[in-house]
């Protein structure tokens, strides 16, 4: 660990990227013998669904059916072994097929040799883009897609599959359409042509799967049911009664196909479409992977998945296939069938190879209606009603995202539905991060935790505020406005203690905002202090010079922050004579005089105009022939805790209410805890005729710090 951490960052980054290619070795290293049975069953189940889909989707893309078979074989194996998800299945999909048609058709005539070559080249281009994004570790981009998008997209896709499979289940013939409404209208218009025997086979498939799984979920229900239905078709010659079957297919290993990888003119024509296909396919695949992972509990590495999707398409392109991506229904079937590892999805590719080569006559007898029933069964499980209810009960924003994505999936092209969800997620993210909560906090009743308690009165001098979000360029205006609004509502709060434990990121705009806040507080005679900074935030503050401008003593420890502010920063005269809030633990033992006086108005502009004397000079003067008279203006209770030898205790409250006759030949030195009460007492004494007045600079705190007092326990 130490050796790797000492490597340069670029070396570690390259090493991490190269490790993505070693994914198969890690899968095989961790593989257990007991997984084989589960993975085989799941692989065969996927293969049974994959085979007819591969044929159908290839035709949908305007390509020979055989290209669908080859893509299914290659992408299943490569995508599984180099991907991240244990259940995501990669192969031909409805979306990728439609996108291939939309991208290649403007470049070449449908069915021409150029069309087939362009489709293969597009597949390689898409693969290179996806793998490049993975190696550059751009998988974090999918983190901006809310789980609500995944749930809504999954549910919408499930409904789409169910509606689209109704056509096959009922054996209806009408023009193809990618629009849900058009498909529904065509089904309604053609319903009188329903083939009842096909419907019966499809429904029987669903019923038998449910019954078998209720008896024993460990049984491979889909395989058993499809086998039984296929045998029944052969035994009773159901094809003679109009039951449509898969029909004959060709088999064999996918052949290598040379592609014009240096035809830059063709590459240029396909480049825009390749970017769109690559991006949409990645979001589709990672969304499916995350959706299944939310059920299985697996952690998916988006960068590894990008690499797997890229390699699957590169190999598929060179071996006579076409663009592939993750499939909702096949991935769901993988998980529902008990697949344990990525090997299950690779078994599906092997199964398609074997079936298309050796058992083609058996596959030919599988009714399309039975496959439609199987797909509808799995599609229904994609509508996660339990999770939809959870999101409904969470936040309004995520509920809107879920249903907007769901409706978009039903009514728009699939790529636009995904884009809608992504844009809504991004908008929600920007809105949430640009308006972080900035809350005033106060101690709870036991003075243990600081909580937002708007019903409680705040300290009249100190605002303790917590920033719950990042201080980046998009959020700084909101944070500053919130702090200044609190400052306006509490004009006496000249001091601010900022709690920063929830600030993960801070940029230069955040630094400028903090500097502006500090300036405003200092303009009114106050100051700003910070507590609970994260290490990287603290380092950034140090690097940008804010620490120097604010002062290192303004960054406090959490446990001592309030005590420091109370004993060394706040005005004790206000605490004692004006404040009735007693917000903090330190306030609880304050002397409580029987009167209230406007301490803030005492002295006015004269405060700070009196000469001072430091602790060392005062100690020396006290031992001189003509020592000064020391008057301690603290309350008697404070005075008893420790004071300067020979000092006279005349509290500020007494000076205001029962002022004694004071006439001294020697200079007068006033002392209090910090020097603030002494300033006010000096103003009163000057008005009574005393001229030679000095103030102990820093008060009894500096006297104790100089070692002239063993201990001063303030307000105890």
How would you write 409-477 as a 3-class SS string? HHHCCHHHHHHHHHHHHHHHHHHHHHCCEEEECEECCCCCCEECCCCCCCCCCEEEEEEECCECCCCHH
Give me the torsion for CA of 332, 334, 340, 344, rounded to 10°.
-150
The tally of domains found in the chain comes to 3
In terms of pLDDT, which residue wins out, 417 or 610?
610
214 and 122, same structural domain? yes
In terms of pLDDT, which residue wins out, 358 or 416?
358
What is the reported pLDDT for 362?
73
And the tokens for 98? Answer: 């439609």
215 and 350, same structural domain? yes
Domain boundary among 360, 388, 416: 388
Say if 670 falls within a structural domain.
yes
**592 pLDDT above the threshold of 80:** no
Per-residue pLDDT band for 517 (boundaries 50, 70, 90) equals: very high
Say if 192 falls within a structural domain.
no
623 and 480, same structural domain? no
d(CA 658, CA 682): 16
CATH number at residue 673: 3.40.250.10
CATH number at residue 537: 3.30.750.24
**Token pair 């480049």: residue:** 271
Q: Count CA atoms closer than 13 A to 662's CA, side-chain side.
A: 26
224 and 109, same structural domain? yes
508 and 455, same structural domain? yes
607 and 565, same structural domain? no
pLDDT digits (tens, 9 = 90+) for 80-138: 999 988 899 999 987 788 778 878 888 898 888 999 999 999 999 999 999 998 888 87
What is the reported pLDDT for 512?
95
Identify the CA nearest to 351 among candidates 37, 53, 76, 97: 76
614 and 566, same structural domain? no
pLDDT digits (tens, 9 = 90+) for 236-247: 889 889 888 877
Work out the angle between the directed axes of helices 196-215 and 221-235 (0-180°, nearest 10).
140
Cβ atoms of 472 and 510 closer than 8 Å: yes
pLDDT digits (tens, 9 = 90+) for 180-236: 788 888 888 889 999 999 999 999 999 998 999 888 876 777 778 888 888 898 888
pLDDT digits (tens, 9 = 90+) for 361-412: 776 788 888 878 877 887 787 788 888 899 898 888 888 888 888 888 788 7
Question: Which region holds residue 517: left if phi is over 0, alpha if psi is between -120 and 50, else beta?
Answer: alpha
Per-residue pLDDT band for 606 (boundaries 50, 70, 90) equals: very low
322 and 227, same structural domain? yes
State the DSSP H helix or E strand holding residue 671, giving kind and residue range, or none if neither. Answer: strand 668-671
Average pLDDT over residues 417-431: 78
**Token pair 């281009």: residue:** 125
Cβ atoms of 153 and 416 closer than 8 Å: no
Domain boundary among 517, 550, 570: 570
Per-chain mean pLDDT for the chain: 84
108 and 238, same structural domain? yes
Domain boundary among 545, 570, 595: 570
Average pLDDT over residues 244-257: 80
**248 pLDDT above the threshold of 90:** no
Report helix, strand or coil for 138. coil
What range defines the domain where residue 286 resides? 7-143+205-388
pLDDT digits (tens, 9 = 90+) for 295-346: 777 878 888 889 999 999 999 999 999 999 998 878 988 888 888 899 999 9
Strand blocks (E) in 290-423:
325-326
Say if 393 falls within a structural domain.
no
Say if 623 falls within a structural domain.
yes
Say if 148 falls within a structural domain.
no
What is the reported pLDDT for 66?
85
What is the reported pLDDT for 63?
86
Q: What is the DSSP letter of 135?
A: H
Parallel/antiparallel/unpaired status of strands 527-531 and 495-499: parallel
358 and 260, same structural domain? yes
What is the reported pLDDT for 714?
41
Average pLDDT over residues 340-354: 92
447 and 343, same structural domain? no
pLDDT digits (tens, 9 = 90+) for 440-490: 999 998 888 889 999 899 998 999 999 999 999 989 999 999 999 999 999
Say if 165 falls within a structural domain.
no
Average pLDDT over residues 21-46: 90
Say if 531 falls within a structural domain.
yes
**426 pLDDT above the threshold of 90:** no
d(CA 363, CA 287): 31
371 and 458, same structural domain? no
**640 pLDDT above the threshold of 60:** yes
**67 pLDDT above the threshold of 60:** yes
pTM of the model: 0.59
Say if 51 falls within a structural domain.
yes
């Amino acid at each position: 660990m130490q050796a790797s951490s000492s490597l340069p960052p670029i070396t570690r980054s390259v090493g991490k990227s190269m490790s993505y290619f070693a994914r198969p070795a890690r899968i095989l290293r961790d593989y257990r013998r007991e997984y084989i049975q589960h993975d085989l069953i799941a692989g065969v189940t996927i293969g049974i669904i994959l085979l007819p889909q591969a044929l159908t989707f290839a035709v949908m893309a305007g390509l020979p059916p055989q290209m669908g078979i080859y893509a299914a074989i290659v992408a299943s194996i490569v995508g599984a072994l180099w991907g991240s998800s244990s259940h995501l299945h990669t192969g031909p999909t409805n979306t990728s097929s439609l996108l291939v048609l939309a991208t290649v058709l403007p470049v070449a005539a449908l069915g021409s040799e150029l069309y087939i070559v362009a489709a293969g080249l597009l597949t390689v281009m898409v693969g290179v883009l996806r793998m490049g994004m993975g190696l550059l570790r751009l998988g974090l981009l999918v983190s901006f897609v809310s789980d609500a998008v995944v749930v809504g997209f999954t549910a919408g896709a499930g409904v789409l599959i169910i509606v689209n499979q109704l056509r096959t289940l009922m054996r209806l013939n009408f023009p193809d359409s990618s629009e849900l409404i058009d498909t529904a209208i065509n089904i309604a218009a053609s319903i009188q042509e329903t083939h009842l025997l096909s419907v019966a086979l499809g429904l029987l498939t669903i019923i038998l799967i449910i019954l078998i799984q209720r008896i024993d979920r460990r049984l491979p229900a889909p395989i058993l049911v499809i086998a039984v239905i296929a045998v029944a078709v052969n035994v009773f010659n159901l094809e003679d009664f109009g039951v449509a079957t898969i029909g004959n297919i060709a088999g064999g290993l996918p052949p290598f196909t040379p592609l014009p990888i240096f035809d830059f003119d063709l590459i240029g024509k396909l480049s825009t479409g390749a970017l769109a296909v690559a991006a949409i396919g990645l979001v589709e695949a990672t969304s499916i992977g995350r959706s299944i992972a939310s059920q299985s509990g697996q952690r998916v590495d988006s960068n590894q998945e990008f690499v797997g999707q890229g390699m699957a398409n590169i190999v598929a392109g060179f071996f006579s296939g076409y663009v592939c991506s993750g499939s909702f229904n096949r991935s769901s079937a993988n998980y529902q069938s008990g697949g344990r590892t990525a090997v299950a999805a690779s078994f599906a590719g092997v199964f398609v190879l074997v079936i298309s080569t050796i058992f083609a006559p058996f596959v030919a007898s599988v009714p399309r209606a039975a496959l439609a029933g199987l797909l509808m069964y799995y599609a229904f499980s994609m509508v996660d009603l339990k999770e939809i209810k959870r999101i409904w009960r969470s936040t309004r924003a995520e509920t809107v995202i879920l249903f907007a994505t769901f409706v978009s999936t039903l009514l728009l092209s699939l790529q636009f539905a995904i884009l809608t969800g992504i844009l809504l997620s991004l908008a929600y993210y920007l809105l949430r991060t640009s308006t972080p909560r900035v809350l005033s906090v106060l101690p709870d009743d036991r003075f243990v935790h600081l909580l937002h308690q708007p019903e409680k009165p705040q300290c009249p001098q100190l605002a303790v505020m917590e920033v719950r979000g990042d201080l980046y360029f998009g959020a700084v205006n909101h944070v500053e406005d919130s702090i200044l609004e609190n400052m306006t509502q509490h004009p006496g709060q000249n001091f601010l203690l900022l709690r920063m434990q929830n600030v993960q990121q801070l940029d230069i705009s955040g630094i400028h905002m903090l500097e502006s806040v500090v300036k405003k507080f200092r303009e009114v005679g106050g100051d700003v202090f910070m507590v609970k900074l994260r290490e990287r935030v603290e380092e950034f503050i140090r690097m940008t010079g804010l620490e120097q401008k604010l002062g290192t003593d303004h960054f406090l420890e959490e446990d001592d922050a309030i005590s420091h502010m109370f004993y060394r920063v706040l005005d004790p005269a206000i605490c004692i004579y004006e404040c009735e809030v007693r917000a903090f633990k330190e306030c609880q033992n304050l002397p409580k005089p029987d009167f209230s006086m406007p301490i803030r108005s005492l002295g006015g502009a004269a405060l700070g105009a009196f000469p001072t004397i430091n602790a060392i000079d005062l100690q020396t003067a006290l031992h001189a022939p003509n020592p000064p008279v020391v008057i301690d203006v603290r309350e008697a209770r404070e005075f008893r805790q420790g004071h300067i030898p020979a000092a006279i205790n005349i509290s500020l409250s007494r000076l205001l209410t029962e002022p004694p006759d004071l006439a001294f030949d020697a200079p007068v030195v006033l002392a209090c805890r910090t020097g603030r009460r002494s300033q006010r007492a000096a103003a009163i004494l000057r008005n009574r005729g005393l001229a030679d007045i000095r103030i102990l600079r820093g008060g009894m705190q500096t006297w104790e710090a100089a070692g002239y007092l063993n201990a001063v326990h303030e307000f105890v």
